[in-house]
């Protein structure tokens, strides 16, 4: 009789292990992925905080000569020397001249850029909804991330328009505290179509 009891107990234990182990492993995976999303490469990206914000200090902010161009080390640029005219705030459906937008960044503007091949019309609308009043939204085909948000000297790659860090970034940086001229604003700027005669360059 004892061998039978031992065999039954052993069978129950084995069954419990077979059921509980997968459940516990699944729960661990769910816990470890909380607050995270997949980026396009399949790696895990923590979207719960601004730890991934890149900082660039010591940026120059001189005016370029009319028609002069410059190559920025970051793409999109986070600051540096720039055109003497800045762009008007708003939403653009074509790439905008970077040397002019950098002047906006000097004024404390928030610049949201997106890859048009990775963000659809609904995504663009979502980005419009997140854009602060002192902000510019434009496509930027050459960037690596689907969406990038930039202020002077600070930049964050985003997984897409739904990334909750957009709002966190705006809350922390949209006041323009990192910019040399934080209260100048992008309002009163020029339209890209009007730049040809006043020193604008191609994006």
- Residue 201 domain flag: no
First to last CA, the chain: 86
- Residue 176 domain flag: yes
- Residue 39 domain flag: no
pTM of the entire predicted model: 0.79
Domain shared by 129 and 96, yes or no: yes
- Residue 119 domain flag: yes
Domain shared by 65 and 158, yes or no: yes
Q: What percent of the chain has pLDDT over 70?
A: 75
Q: Which tens digit of pLDDT belongs to each residue from 85-108?
A: 999 999 999 999 999 999 999 999
Higher-confidence residue of 28 and 112: namely 112
- Residue 14 domain flag: yes
Domain shared by 116 and 149, yes or no: yes
Domain shared by 117 and 167, yes or no: yes
Which residues, listed in sequence order, are joined to residue 45 by a DSSP beta bridge?
37
Q: Which tens digit of pLDDT belongs to each residue from 169-189?
A: 999 999 999 999 998 999 999
- Residue 140 domain flag: yes
What is the number of structural domains in the chain?
Answer: 2
d(CA 137, CA 127): 8
Q: In the block, which residue shows the tokens 């914000």? A: 53
Domain shared by 19 and 108, yes or no: no
CB crowding 104-124: b at 16 or more within 10 Å, else e: bbbbbbbbbbbbeeebeeebb
Domain shared by 95 and 71, yes or no: yes
Q: 93: domain range?
A: 46-194
- With beta carbons less than 8 A apart as the criterion, state whether 185 and 109 touch: yes
- With beta carbons less than 8 A apart as the criterion, state whether 118 and 163 touch: no
Question: In the predicted model, what is the mean pLDDT of residues 69-74?
Answer: 94
Higher-confidence residue of 40 and 68: namely 68
């Amino acid at each position: 009789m004892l061998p039978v009891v031992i065999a039954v107990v052993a069978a129950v234990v084995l069954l419990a292990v077979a059921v509980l182990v997968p459940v516990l492993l699944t729960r661990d995976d769910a816990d470890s992925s909380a607050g995270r999303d997949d980026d396009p490469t399949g790696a895990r990206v923590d979207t719960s905080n601004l730890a991934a914000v890149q900082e660039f200090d010591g940026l120059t902010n001189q005016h370029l000569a009319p028609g002069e161009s410059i190559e920025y080390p970051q793409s999109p640029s986070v600051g540096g020397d720039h055109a003497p005219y800045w762009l008007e705030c708003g939403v653009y459906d074509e790439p905008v001249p970077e040397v002019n937008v950098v002047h906006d960044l000097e004024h404390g503007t928030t610049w949201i850029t997106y890859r048009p091949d990775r963000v659809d019309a609904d995504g663009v609308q979502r980005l419009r909804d997140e854009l602060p009043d002192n902000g510019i939204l434009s496509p930027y085909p050459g960037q690596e991330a689907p969406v990038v948000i930039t202020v002077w000297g600070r930049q964050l790659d985003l997984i897409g328009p739904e990334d909750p860090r957009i709002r966190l970034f705006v809350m922390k940086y949209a006041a323009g505290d990192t910019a040399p001229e934080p209260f100048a604003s992008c309002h009163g700027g020029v339209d890209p179509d009007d730049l040809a005669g006043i020193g604008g360059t191609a994006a």
